[in-house]
A = this chain, B = another copy of it.
């Protein structure tokens, strides 16, 4: 591949002049500009961004590290990140951690070596020493969706607790008194917040007893396996609260396999919607996070940091979430 010297030689000028033409910066006569431009065309010259990045210490690249792009929620977040980054002249590198701290650590190191300008991180586990690594490197980062140790970092997440509380109150209003919650790992702050919101609603209703909370993973198997367990418990819950979309799908499969109808036999509500684009007939009563917005806001905040235009001190952006009532939940028979 040709370099700027090849172009310069062909055009009969110095490399710096070629640079000026490319970057439209400084004085270049029309005659010279044309000669340079045709040399660029002839050689199909593409500037090597590595050199300048080496000097300027800016790569105009952001890192997005999340759990699994295969989950439509994260796909949408990623799209929000990418679009916003592009609008501001940045590009993104993506890494899937699959919730593994090792994978996360590998990615962070790799991306630091690549000299990304900043990180958007969905931390794989809450005891992350990841924040240390950033702070020691002085690389700006924004934490998405979850909390990590300490409180001196920028973050964007949904109001998990508030959303879970709303959703639970809705179930209570329908007359449900025994509700099972299936959720993610205890070291996942979003899982904890959702359970906390649930408990808050329960306590405010004076029903502290009898509630079942199942801690597992944010995946289908957890939803499926715990649902089978729940169906054997006595007294049986009249509603199941799935704290993410994949768990909800596992729940539904287990119920279907057992021949139970929703909502006639049991009500189901969930956290995280599936994008309209991939659902034929929206069915779940959910609290819907604004995934695209989360990606967008986080990226905007990160970029503001990079150009030193963010407010001083750590920012904590909590996105409101809305409850959407659909067909998977119904009034309990015999309830007032």
Residues of A within 8 A of B (CB): 1, 44, 46-51, 53-54, 59, 61, 69-72, 75-76, 78-79, 82, 91-96, 109-110, 112-115, 133, 136-138, 220, 245-246, 249, 252-253, 256, 274-275, 277-281
B69 lies within 8 A of A75 (CB): yes
A278 lies within 8 A of B72 (CB): yes
Contacts of A71 in B (CB 8 A): 277
Q: Which of B46, B54, B109, B277 contacts A112 (CB 8 A)?
A: B46
CA distance A49 to B133 in the complex (A): 17
Q: Which of B50, B72, B96 contacts A115 (CB 8 A)?
A: B50
Q: Known: A70-B79, A72-B72, A94-B94. Contact between A49 and B114, CB under 8 A? A: yes
Q: Which residue of B lies closest to A110 (CB)?
A: B91
B277 lies within 8 A of A220 (CB): yes
Q: Which residue of B lies closest to A78 (CB)?
A: B69
Contacts of A279 in B (CB 8 A): 249
Q: Which residue of B lies closest to A55 (CB)?
A: B50
A252 lies within 8 A of B275 (CB): no
B69 lies within 8 A of A96 (CB): no
CA distance A226 to B48 in the complex (A): 47
CB distance from A156 to the nearest CB of B (A): 20
CA distance A50 to B249 in the complex (A): 44
Q: A61-B93, A69-B69 are in contact. List 10 more A-B contacts (CB 8 A).
A: A1-B137, A49-B114, A49-B115, A50-B115, A72-B278, A75-B75, A93-B93, A220-B277, A249-B277, A249-B279
CA distance A281 to B50 in the complex (A): 49
Contacts of A59 in B (CB 8 A): 50
Q: Known: A49-B114, A246-B277. Contact between A94 and B96, CB under 8 A? A: no
Contacts of A91 in B (CB 8 A): 93, 95, 110, 114
Q: Which residue of B lies closest to A220 (CB)?
A: B277
CA distance A112 to B76 in the complex (A): 26
Contacts of A277 in B (CB 8 A): 70-71, 220, 246, 249
CA distance A95 to B301 in the complex (A): 21
Q: Which residue of B lies closest to A60 (CB)?
A: B110
CA distance A211 to B14 in the complex (A): 64
